[in-house]
Each structure stands twice: as C-alpha cells, then as structure tokens.
C-alpha cells in the first residue's frame, strides 16, 4: 500500500501585542539624565603687549568719565555758592540788618535778708528786673524764644546767685522797643559769715551790686515768616541799687552769640 505524501504540520504565529504610545513629555525613569551643557569658554584676556595699538583700555575711559563728572560737579557747586553769595549780598544791602540793643532799666530788691544761725549764714532775696530790648531795624522784625533770667550779687569773694526766672518769648515789629520784666527769688542760700555781713551792710547803704544775665534765642521775621533762631546771651554789667535808683543810669548790655562770640 502506497503511502501518500507526508503532511507538514502548520504552526501559527502568536498574535503581536500592540505597542502602547508614550504620552508627550514622557521620560523613562530608568534612563540616565542628560548632562548639563557646559558654559561657553571665556575669551582669554590678552596681556597689554598683545593688545591692538591705538586703543585705550576701558578702565582709562571710565576714569576719564569720572574725572569729567567731578569737574562738572565742582563747577556746579562753585556756581551755586556764587549765586548764594550774590543773593546774600543783595539781601544784606536791601534789609541792612542790625543787632538789637539791650539796656538794664532797673533792679529792685523787695527782700534781702541775711540770717546768721548756729548752722551757718543764709541769704533770702527777691528781686525784680526790667530790661529794655530795642529793634533798630526798619525792614525786618525780630522774634525771641522762651528764655531764662539770672540775678547774682557781685562780691569780691565771688558772685552769689540770688534766683532765676522763666521769660516768655515774644516778637518785635520794626523800630520797636519792648520792656522785658522778670522776678527772681532765692531762699536759704548759704554764704560765708564774712560775705553775709558784708552784703548786709552794702544793702543798707544801697551799694550792693547786682549782675543780670538773660539766655534766649533770636530769630528774624520777614514777610510774616520767622527764620531759625540762634541762642544768645544778654550780659548786663553789675550795677548798684544807688545807680539804678530813680532811673539815674541805664547801662547797656552786650550780646554773646552762640556762647562764644561777644557782640557789643
């Protein structure tokens, strides 16, 4: 029996799984990270001998610009100072400012007692002072700040303070005279026994001398506006009760500006 041709077995290929599409921007976590790009190499600085001739380095240009700026600033400052000086000179010639004058009109002692006790010698005093302040300017006014007045008894062994008093500020119009009045009191001021006896005798004979000092601030009023005030001291020379009794004399006081400039 004849055998037929051999039948070859048929093998079927397995089904191919569809490939999944990766979403946009997907990054495999197992993949190595790309290296960061290196910065471009800097251009090497050439030494001065290799630079092109005829070109100045940038540093010199900057220095030259700075010098020009300094020159312009200096010139502007000089011009501003010149304009200020010219304006100040014109204002001085126009206003012709003058310092105020002060005169000590009177010093009255309503009480002056020297008491000698077992524990020492003590002085009690009460004085009233009148000072005439005059503004000689015809185009500017003056403004005084709050101040303080001192009264002392002048003695050969040293001055004895017999009280202070507050003085309220005030304003003066052009060509104006104002009387400044204040009262000072002292109680229980201890003095030497010899000084106390001498002052007591001089008070009885009206030969006792009083010194007066006023500390305040002075400003200028122009067009209804007041400039900044500077500190001044008004120093009146010592006078006796006999000299100022009945207005016999009115000594002039001098001004101490900024505590070290004496103006008469």
In this prediction, residue 76 carries a pLDDT of 79
Query: Can you tell me the mean pLDDT for 55-75?
Result: 65
Q: Enter the pTM of the model.
A: 0.63
Pairing of strands 209-222, 225-226: antiparallel
Task: Yes or no: say if 104 and 134 are a contact pair by the CB < 8 Å rule.
Answer: no
pLDDT digits (tens, 9 = 90+) for 88-104: 666 655 666 788 999 99
Per-residue pLDDT of 198-224, as tens digits, reads 999 999 999 999 999 999 999 998 877
Compute the half-sphere exposure of residue 257: CA atoms within 13 Å on the CB side of its CA.
10
């Amino acid at each position: 029996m004849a055998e037929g041709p051999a039948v070859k077995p048929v093998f079927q290929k397995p089904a191919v799984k569809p490939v999944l599409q990766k979403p946009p921007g997907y990054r495999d976590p197992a993949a190595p990270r790309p290296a960061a790009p290196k910065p471009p190499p800097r251009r090497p600085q050439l030494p001065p001998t290799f630079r092109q001739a005829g070109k100045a380095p940038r540093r010199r240009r900057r220095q030259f610009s700075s010098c020009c700026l300094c020159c312009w600033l200096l010139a502007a400052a000089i011009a501003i100072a010149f304009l200020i000086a010219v304006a100040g000179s014109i204002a001085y010639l126009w206003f012709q400012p003058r310092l105020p004058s002060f005169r000590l009109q009177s010093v009255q002692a309503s009480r002056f007692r020297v008491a000698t006790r077992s524990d020492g010698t003590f002085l009690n005093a009460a004085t009233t002072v009148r000072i005439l302040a005059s503004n000689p300017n015809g185009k500017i006014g003056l403004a005084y700040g709050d101040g303080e007045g001192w009264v002392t008894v002048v003695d050969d062994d040293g001055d004895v303070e017999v009280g202070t008093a507050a003085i309220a500020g005030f304003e003066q119009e052009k060509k104006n005279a104002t009387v400044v009045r204040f009262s000072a009191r002292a109680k229980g001021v201890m003095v030497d026994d010899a000084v106390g006896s001498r002052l007591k005798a001089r008070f009885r004979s009206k030969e006792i001398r009083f010194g007066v000092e006023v500390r305040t601030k002075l400003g200028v009023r122009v067009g209804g506006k007041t400039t900044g005030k500077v500190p001044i001291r008004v120093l009146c020379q010592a006078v006796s009760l006999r000299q100022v009794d009945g207005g016999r004399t009115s000594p002039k006081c001098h001004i101490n500006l900024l505590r070290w400039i004496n103006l008469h």
